[in-house]
Amino acid sequence: MKAFVFPGQGAQYSGMGKDLYENNETAKELFEKANEILGFRITDIMFEGTAEELKQTKVTQPAVFLHSVINAICMGDDFNPDMVGGHSLGEFSALAAAGALKFEDALKLVHARALAMQKACEAAPSTMAAIIGLEDQVVENICAEVTAQGNGVVVPANYNCPGQLVISGNIEAVNAACEKLTEAGARRALVLPVGGAFHSPLMQPAKDELQAAIEKTEFQTPKCPVYQNVDAKAHTDAAEIKQNLIAQLTASVRWTQEVQNMIAAGATDFMECGPGRALQGMIGKIAKGNADVTIKGIE
């Protein structure tokens, strides 16, 4: 069975989507439609922009979404998933590619999400850190311990693959957790160059803002099951999908569990659709030792 998966923020690079734009008329029309919807030429930044320009949340999120979804659309009949999933922002790409959201509506939601998250980041000094080489339970316990001490919130944010968990929260709490996690035996506890605490309670203002936009948007039954980050389970009910998407901004991304559930449901061929190879690396570690699973990228 085929599982198409879609990357999140961080997969962007200068030049992304340029070949598609120049060599496929459908892609060109969709990119131009996106420029019109967003009110600025995001294609100029995607194709020629600096890493710094691409790193702005308001640019990064729609850019990664566009590259991923337009790629899927341009595959035509070769885009034939038995299931789809996406990492954080990538869930919006998965929903659009599977037909649960119209392209235009999904792009508007991604744009609203990016602006709301940017605003929340500016309101509360916060960050994230990658923890390498510890069991999830150890990371969870230390995050809870640091939060209970009252110097801010820190929570598990992204369960990326076995031995790699990203934590998120107030700067002081993340730094304190990193210190304790290093003492507990983490191979690395690396504070990431991000401007906010994604997938933590500090994103509540952004969640409230995005919820209003999601509730006004029409969702359809997808053409295949969509595995969602908040519970790592397959969903086809439009109302359930909508509620899970609202919950996503302040909830953990359960990517490890999501991929494990896809494999348990019969997925053997994983295809990362969009920029970068981050998900291929994660899935390789999640499926380690499973000779039936193959992983490739489609850019």
Range 246-257 average pLDDT: 97
Q: Is residue 15 part of a domain?
A: yes
**DSSP strand pairing (2-6 vs 269-273):** parallel
Are both 112 and 139 inside the same structural domain? no
Domain boundary among 161, 191, 221: 191
3-state secondary structure of 85: strand
From 93, 199, 235, 252, active-site residue: 199
Count structural domains, the chain: 2
Are both 29 and 106 inside the same structural domain? yes
Are both 154 and 224 inside the same structural domain? no
Q: Where are the alpha helices (DSSP H) in 124-201?
A: 136-148, 171-183
Are both 218 and 234 inside the same structural domain? yes
Q: What does the pLDDT read at residue 124? A: 84
Q: Is residue 241 part of a domain?
A: yes
Q: Is 68 a catalytic residue?
A: no
Are both 256 and 174 inside the same structural domain? no
Are both 116 and 225 inside the same structural domain? yes
Residue 196's pLDDT band (cuts 50, 70, 90): confident
Q: Is residue 196 part of a domain?
A: no
pLDDT at position 197 over 90: yes
From 67, 68, 87, 88, active-site residue: 88
Residue 10's pLDDT band (cuts 50, 70, 90): confident
Q: Is residue 99 part of a domain?
A: yes
Residue 133's pLDDT band (cuts 50, 70, 90): very high
Are both 41 and 186 inside the same structural domain? no
Q: Is residue 223 part of a domain?
A: yes
CATH number for the domain that contains residue 225: 3.40.366.10
Q: What does the pLDDT read at residue 58? A: 86
Q: Is 199 a catalytic residue?
A: yes
Q: Is residue 27 part of a domain?
A: yes
Q: Can you give the pTM of this predicted structure? A: 0.96
Q: Where are the alpha helices (DSSP H) in the chain?
A: 18-23, 25-38, 42-48, 51-55, 57-74, 90-97, 103-123, 136-148, 171-183, 204-215, 238-247, 255-264, 278-286
Give per-residue pLDDT as tens, 14-37: 999 999 999 999 999 999 999 999
Are both 155 and 213 inside the same structural domain? no
pLDDT at position 45 over 90: yes
Q: Provide the mean pLDDT of the chain.
A: 96
Q: Is residue 253 part of a domain?
A: yes
pLDDT at position 298 over 90: no
Domain containing 181 equals 125-191
Rounded-to-integer distance, Cα 114 and Cα 56, Å: 9
